[in-house]
Amino acid sequence: MTFKIRNKSSGREFIAEKLETVLAAALRQGVMLPYSCRNGACGTCKGKLISGKVDYGTYEAKAMSVAEKENGYALFCQARPLSNLVIEAKEIAVAKDIPIRIMPARVVQMEKLAEDVMRLSLKLAEGQRLQFLAGQYIDILLSGNQRRSFSLATSPLSDEMLQLHIRHVPGGYYTDHVFSKMKEKDLLRFQGPFGVFFLREDSERPAILIAGGTGFAPIKGMLEYAFAQGIKRPLHLYWGVRAKSDLYLQNLPAMWAKEHKNFKFTPVLSEPKPEDHWNGRQGWVHEAVAGDHPDLSQHEVYASGPPPMIDAIKGMVKKHRLPEDRLFFDSFEFAHAPAS
């Protein structure tokens, strides 16, 4: 049994196979709806159901309120059609022609950048390249239909070798493996690229980039891409971490600030240690941004990192006059068990 889905906003139609979510069906057929975590947690894929019925699936209450559901919204990463549908959702043209592929890769280098951050350098098979937009992420495919998402920390201009910055989640199924058992030369399989977290190149607006912990990874990819392309719009990176040792590659943005007049770097520590002798910014990273930019009406904001940080930034939109469609984010939600 298949169902036809029509997007009223674009007039495009696509088919959902049995038990396929609206988003999975759209992506399979090159219809790029907005999305981020694909776990029913971040809310990016929320869109309007104009007609038809869906199974709403499982999702977190913060991603869609009861009122939104009653007003005809659904999370397309979880919703499975139970009839033909008409939906209303914006489509993202730039990413639509990039194929999502499953590829093998070899771990060629593992470097501990901090006590709990590992940089994995992955090499693709001879002659293979991954086409992606700086800031997108991949899913590492694991046994039992499990997958774990990690952002690409490199620019697509150097797409032969991919890099990931992996934070150790103590007790975490995959990151425990990375920190205790994984060895250089191991093989893995991944699927990607995914997501719509990339620098909008059709804009000249000043961009504020907010990274929380390993949220630096996709932003690093975006900035390296922007510098290589000679993008001249103002770019201001705020990187929030606990203590100085968590700024695991801080020489890099410090160097960019020297090399590029349009780039500024503000590290923000929430819990500096006495031995850090820190006299820079302190507190939550979103508060540092809010303090410097009470009015964000002329900016774009790109944010990636832990869900509480992303929620706090979403909460700034109204107060600081940031138009909702100029906030782009990847919330580092953790994976839920695969659907049975």
Ligand X SMILES: Cc1cc2nc3c(=O)[nH]c(=O)nc-3n(C[C@H](O)[C@H](O)[C@H](O)COP(=O)(O)OP(=O)(O)OC[C@H]3O[C@@H](n4cnc5c(N)ncnc54)[C@H](O)[C@@H]3O)c2cc1C
Give the residues lining the site for ligand X (CB under 6 A). 36-37, 137, 148-151, 165-167, 169, 171-175, 195, 214, 217, 306, 330, 332-335
Provide, rounded to whole angstroms, the least separation between the CB of residue 304 and ligand X.
7
Contacts of residue 198, Cβ cutoff 8 Å, sequence gap at least 6: 94, 95, 133, 134, 135, 136, 222, 328
Provide, rounded to whole angstroms, the least separation between the CB of residue 51 and ligand X.
31
> Which residue, among 72, 100, 109, has the nearest Cα to 88 in the 3D structure?
72
Provide, rounded to whole angstroms, the least separation between the CB of residue 258 and ligand X.
26
Helices (H), ranges, the chain: 22-28, 66-70, 173-180, 216-228, 251-259, 285-292, 307-314, 316-319
3-state secondary structure of 282: strand
Cα–Cα distance between 76 and 92 in angstroms, integer?
Answer: 15
Kindly report the backbone phi and psi dihedral angles of residue 235, in degrees, each rounded to the nearest multiple of 5, phi listed first.
-130, 120
CB nearer to ligand X: pick between 195 and 253: 195
Which residue's CB comes closest to ligand X? 172
Provide, rounded to whole angstroms, the least separation between the CB of residue 77 and ligand X.
11
Provide, rounded to whole angstroms, the least separation between the CB of residue 102 and ligand X.
17
Cα–Cα distance between 314 and 239 in angstroms, integer?
Answer: 17
Cα–Cα distance between 32 and 30 in angstroms, integer?
Answer: 6
CB nearer to ligand X: pick between 5 and 23: 23
CB nearer to ligand X: pick between 104 and 172: 172
CB nearer to ligand X: pick between 192 and 267: 192
Provide, rounded to whole angstroms, the least separation between the CB of residue 197 and ligand X.
7
Q: Is 47 in contact with 17 (CB distance < 8 Å)?
A: no
Cα–Cα distance between 306 and 167 in angstroms, integer?
Answer: 11
